[in-house]
Amino acid sequence: MIIDSSDEVSRFVWLKRFPFPRNFNVTPESRIEPGHTWPAPAGATRTKAFDIYRYDPDSGGNPRLDRFYVDLDDCGPMVLDALIWIKNKVDSTLAFRRSCREGVCGSCSMTMDGTNWLACTRFSSDMATPATIYPLANMRVVKDLVPDQTHVFAQYAAIQPWLRSKTPEPEKERLQSVEERGRIDGYYECILCFCCTSGCPSHWWNGDRFLGPAVLLQAWRWLTDSRDEAKEERLDNLEDPFRLYRCHTILNCTRTCPKGLNPGKAIAEIKKMIVERES
Ligand code: SF4
Ligand code: SF4
Ligand code: FES
């Protein structure tokens, strides 16, 4: 559920401002149990152990941690290669998302050795032994390593992430100077992997109202685009105690972004723009 304005929740204001973490008193059904250990491939001389989170809602069982041994001489160098190897050679029911295998589509984001990153751009050799792989935190799990991103994409849609113009459409393209184009550098490269939002403590606590770093970085991408003509409406939409101001500049987001972007800076720029328009 997305709450559009902080005024919408009046009866539980205090609870909403100081909520208990959602996983407080974890229920027995969600405890992670020891899983299956799959045998090492016969004849392999160089193997690496991967402990992988497994959850199948149709089975009715608890989540578990399965151990797989990957034959490094028969597998590409990245963690995504290891996952594909496991799916092809050991357990075809292992579920994960991937598409480009080049760090471009943002679909293979997951938590590896406790850090959010893209499986296709993390070397298996950089992982601990055993390597641990979980789905992105703070999202419901659809199956195994596949998180439900319905909520974060609904938040993304809420900022209207497209060019909004009022002037008549030109005959050709809308021109920008080199300098104007340069202003979206560091923002347009976001691939919406949501590694940052999953790692943001403010989004863990107030994810129904705080938009989170990925969406706010995207909001700034449009605010700073010289061709966009909806700046005031965009700022009005963001100026809310929760939507924007629940960011406390902890900068987990910037630390974890696999594209080297800085959502914390983008959020600070939005706050600065709001102050400037009011002064
Ligand atoms: S800087 Fe803001 S958005 Fe980034 S992790 Fe911290 S609270 Fe979240
Ligand atoms: S800012 Fe970085 S971590 Fe966040 S969604 Fe974009 S690419 Fe992913
Ligand atoms: S598969 Fe596209 S970013 Fe990893």
Q: The domain spanning residue 37 has which CATH number?
A: 3.10.20.30
pLDDT number for residue 211: 98
Q: In this structure, are 223 and 156 located in the same domain?
A: yes
| Distance of CA 267 from the midpoint of ligand 1 (Å) | 8
Asked if 96 and 203 sit in the same domain, the reply is no
- Residue 142 inside a domain? The answer is yes
Q: Which pLDDT score is estimated for 119?
A: 98
- The Cα–Cα gap between 237 and 249 comes to 21
Whether 209 maps to a domain, the answer reads yes
Q: Could you tell me the distance, in angstroms and rounded to a whole number, from the CA of residue 139 to the centre of ligand 3?
A: 19
73: DSSP letter: G
- Tell whether 126 and 201 lie within a shared domain: no
Per the structure, the complete domain to which residue 106 belongs is given by 28-147
Q: What is the dihedral of CA 173, 185, 80, 33, to 10 degrees?
A: -120
What's the confidence (pLDDT) of residue 8? 53
Distance 252 CA to ligand 1 centre (A): 6
* Nearest-CA residue for atom 6 of ligand 1: 250
Q: What SS3 class is residue 156?
A: helix
CA of 254, closest atom in ligand 1: 4
**Is pLDDT of 20 > 60?**
no
Tally of helices (H runs) and strands (E runs) in the chain: 10, 8
User: Distance from CA of residue 192 to its chain's centroid?
Assistant: 7
The pLDDT, as a whole number, for residue 30 is 82
| Nearest listed ligand to the Cα of residue 120 | 3
First to last CA, the chain: 35
What percent of the chain stands above pLDDT 90? 87
Q: How far apart (Å, rounded) are the C-alpha atoms in residues 130 and 111?
A: 14
Q: Does residue 175 fall inside a structural domain? A: yes
Residues 70 and 142 in one domain: yes
Rg (CA), the chain: 21
* pLDDT tens per residue, range 73-93: 999 999 999 999 999 999 999
Same domain, 52 and 104: yes
Lining residues, ligand 2, CB within 6 Å:
190-196, 213-214, 217, 257, 259, 261, 263
Condensed to tens digits (0 to 9), the pLDDT of residues 22-65 reads 555 567 888 899 999 999 999 999 999 999 999 999 998 999 99
* Position 96, amino acid: F
Q: How far is the CA of 172 from the centre of ligand 2 (A)?
A: 32
Q: Which ligand is nearest to the CA of 256?
A: 2
Query: pTM higher than 0.85 for the full model?
Result: yes
How much is the pLDDT for 29? 80
Among 99, 129, 147, identify where a domain stops. 147
Given the CA of residue 98, which atom of ligand 3 is nearest to it?
Answer: 1
Q: What is the dihedral of CA 182, 184, 187, 191, to 10 degrees?
A: -100
143 and 170 housed in the same domain: no
Task: Of 54, 203, 218, give the one whose Cα is nearest residue 138.
Answer: 203
Q: Is 273 found in the same domain as 160?
A: yes
Task: Please tell me the distance from the alpha carbon of residue 218 to that of residue 201, in angstroms, as a whole number.
Answer: 19
Q: Which of 107, 132, 147 is the last residue of a domain?
A: 147
Query: What pLDDT, on the 0 to 100 scale, is given for residue 11?
Result: 47
Whether 274 and 153 share a structural domain: yes
| pLDDT, tens digit (0-9, with 9 covering 90-100), for 184-237 | 999 999 999 999 999 999 999 999 999 999 999 999 999 999 999 999 999 999
d(CA 182, CA 90): 47
Are both 163 and 134 inside the same structural domain? no
Is residue 128 domain-shared with residue 224, that is, in the same domain? no
Residues 175 and 61 in one domain: no
Q: What share of the chain is helix, strand, coil (3-state, %, to 5)?
A: 35, 15, 50
Which of 101, 131, 147 is a domain's end point? Answer: 147
* Mean pLDDT of all residues belonging to the chain: 92
Number of domains in the chain: 2
We report the CATH number of the domain holding residue 160 as 1.10.1060.10
